[in-house]
Structure 1
Amino acid sequence: MSHGPRRIVCLTEEPTETLYALGEQDRIVGISGFTVRPAIARKQKPKVSAFTSAKIGEILKLRPDFVIGFSDIQAEIAGELIRHGVEVWISNHRSVDGIVDYIRRLGALVGAAARANAYADDLRRGLDEIAAQSARLPQRPKVYFEEWDEPLISGIQWVAELVRIAGGDDIFPERAIEPLAKQRILEDPSEVVRRAPDIVLGSWCGKKFRPEKVAARPGWDTIPAVRGAELHEIKSPIILQPGPAALTEGVGEIAKVIQRWAQRRV
Structure 2
Amino acid sequence: MRTTRPALLALLAAALPLVLVACGDDDGDATASGGDSPSAASDPSDPSEGGDEAAFPVTIDTANGPVEITEQPEQIVSLSATATEMLFAIGAGDSVVAADSYSNYPAEAPTTDLSGFEPNVEAIVGYAPDLVIASSDPGDLVSSLAEVGVPAVILAPAVTIDDTYTQLEQLGAVTGQVGDAAELVGQMQTDIDALLAQVPADAAPATYYHELDPNLFTVTSATFIGELYAMAGWTNIADEAPDAAGGYPQLSPEFLVTANPDVVFFADGGAGGVVAEDIAARPGWDQIAAVQQDRIVEVDPDIASRWGPRVVDFLRLVIEERTALASVQ
Secondary structure in structure 2 of the residue aligned to 1:23? coil
Q: Distance in 2 between matches of 1:4 and 1:223?
A: 55
Structure (1 or 2) with the larger CA radius of gyration: 2
* 2:74 and 2:130 in contact (8 A); partners too: yes
- Post-superposition CA distance 1:7-43 (Å, at most 9, x none): 21111222222222221112211112222322222xx
- Post-superposition CA distance 1:131-161 (Å, at most 9, x none): 1111446334211111122252335722112
Q: CA deviation at 1:111?
A: 2.2
Secondary structure in structure 1 of the residue aligned to 2:181? helix
Residue 328 of structure 2 is aligned to residue 264 of structure 1: yes
CA RMSD, aligned part only? 2.9
- Aligned equivalent of 1:117: 182
- Aligned equivalent of 1:21: 89
With over 3 angstroms needed to count, the CA separation of the structure-2 counterparts of 1:128 and 1:192, relative to structure 1, is: same
- 1:158-197 aligned within 5 A: 158-173=224-239, 184-197=248-261
- Post-superposition CA distance 1:134-189 (Å, at most 9, x none): 144633421111112225233572211221233322222478xx897xx5132533
- 1:85-234 aligned within 5 A: 85=148, 86-92=150-156, 93-136=158-201, 138-150=203-215, 152-154=217-219, 157-173=223-239, 184-204=248-268, 208-234=273-299
Specify the code of the residue in structure 2 equivalent to 1:99.
T
Secondary structure in structure 2 of the residue aligned to 1:143? strand
Q: Distance in 2 between matches of 1:121 and 1:259?
A: 25
- Aligned equivalent of 2:145: 82
Specify the code of the residue in structure 2 equivalent to 1:257.
E
* 2:232 and 2:318 in contact (8 A); partners too: yes
Q: CA deviation at 1:232?
A: 0.9
With over 3 angstroms needed to count, the CA separation of the structure-2 counterparts of 1:229 and 1:84, relative to structure 1, is: farther
* 1:54 and 1:77 in contact (8 A); partners too: no
Q: Distance in 2 between matches of 1:205 and 1:108?
A: 36
Aligned length: 256
TM-score when normalising by structure 2:
0.68
| Bigger proportion of residues as helix | 1
Moved more, 118-127 or 215-224: 215-224
Q: Distance in 2 between matches of 1:262 and 1:135?
A: 8
With over 3 angstroms needed to count, the CA separation of the structure-2 counterparts of 1:77 and 1:241, relative to structure 1, is: farther
- Aligned equivalent of 1:237: 302
* 1:160 and 1:173 in contact (8 A); partners too: no
- Post-superposition CA distance 1:17-71 (Å, at most 9, x none): 2222221112211112222322222xxx241424533454432210112211114
Residue 138 of structure 2 is aligned to residue 34 of structure 1: no
Specify the code of the residue in structure 2 equivalent to 1:13.
A
Q: CA deviation at 1:261?
A: 2.4
- Post-superposition CA distance 1:57-93 (Å, at most 9, x none): 432210112211114xx52373585375332222222
* 1:5 and 1:65 in contact (8 A); partners too: yes
Q: Distance in 1 between matches of 2:211 and 2:142?
A: 31
Which of 68, 72, 75 aligns to 1:7? It is 75
